[in-house]
Structure 1
Amino acid sequence: MNGRTPPLGDITGLWQAVLTAAAGRFQCRGTCGKPHAKDSGGRCPAVHGGYPRHGTGPVHLIAAPADPDALLLPAHRAAALPKRQLAAWCPACHDATRRHTRAARQAATPPAEPDALF
């Protein structure tokens, strides 16, 4: 997959629309916990099809919910979101944002009361 070839299943053109709206750059602004460089406007500096600084293979865009809380939606609900609610994520920022969001949600949920035996 390169910048011109959409992933399998992009029959609606949604992935391509998200990529175009993001100008081929990932849109994370630090919700992943990394302080993205100020020279990149606070956005993740990764570019679709480019290589990250740590030398792994090319990075590919993930079209996923823009709202970090929506990243925890079941896949069938996330897939039904309209284009305006999607953003371009690099896999590292996507996974880190999901972990941070899940941890924050668990921390905010009070522990369940144990059932009393008597």
Structure 2
Amino acid sequence: MNGRTPPLGDTTGLWQAVIAAAAGRCQCRGTCGKKHDKDGGRCPVVHGGYARHGTGPVALLAAPADPDGLLLPPHRAAALPKRELAAWCPACHDATRRRAHAARQATAEPTGPDALFDL
């Protein structure tokens, strides 16, 4: 994998544009739960590089920049314009998505009892 190998589905060049705008580096600034202190507050993972010793090369994702946007259904996320996308390494993407989901669940109103069992 070279530094800019696009995914097979990138027929419009959107992925390449997002990764180029990010200089080939994950754009997470701590929404994943890590502070990324050693790297100036930004995740150090680069496309085609290695996240940790013993792992394969990392392929960055072009996904919604806003953590809440990571909860969008895939068809809505795929329709977002380039300015609303960011480059994410898989680890930061997954952790940010989990945190956004947990935050949404914490603020959701509890549902009432099931009407099937009302007496």
- Residue 69 of structure 1 is matched in structure 2 by 68
- For the 8 Å contact 2:50–2:57, the answer to whether it is kept is yes
TM-score norm. by structure 1 comes to 0.92
* Structure 2 alignment gaps of length 5 or more: none
Deviation track 1:52-87 (CA, whole Å, cap 9, x = no partner) reads 134311111100000000000000000000000000
Query: What count of residue pairs does the alignment treat as equivalent?
Result: 117
Distance 1:112 1:54, change over 3 A: farther
**For 1:1-118, what aligned pairs fall within 5 Å after superposition?**
1-37=1-37, 39-114=38-113, 115=115, 117-118=118-119
* Structure 1 alignment gaps of length 5 or more: none
AA matched with 2:24: G
AA matched with 2:22: A
TM-score norm. by structure 2 comes to 0.92
Equivalent position SS for 2:63: strand
Equivalent position SS for 1:87: strand
Tell me how far apart the structure 1 counterparts of residues 76 and 58 of structure 2 sit (CA, whole Å).
25
AA matched with 2:25: R
How far the C-alpha of 1:41 sits from its partner, in A, is: 2.4
Percent of residue pairs bearing the same amino acid type: 77
- For the 8 Å contact 2:4–2:47, the answer to whether it is kept is no
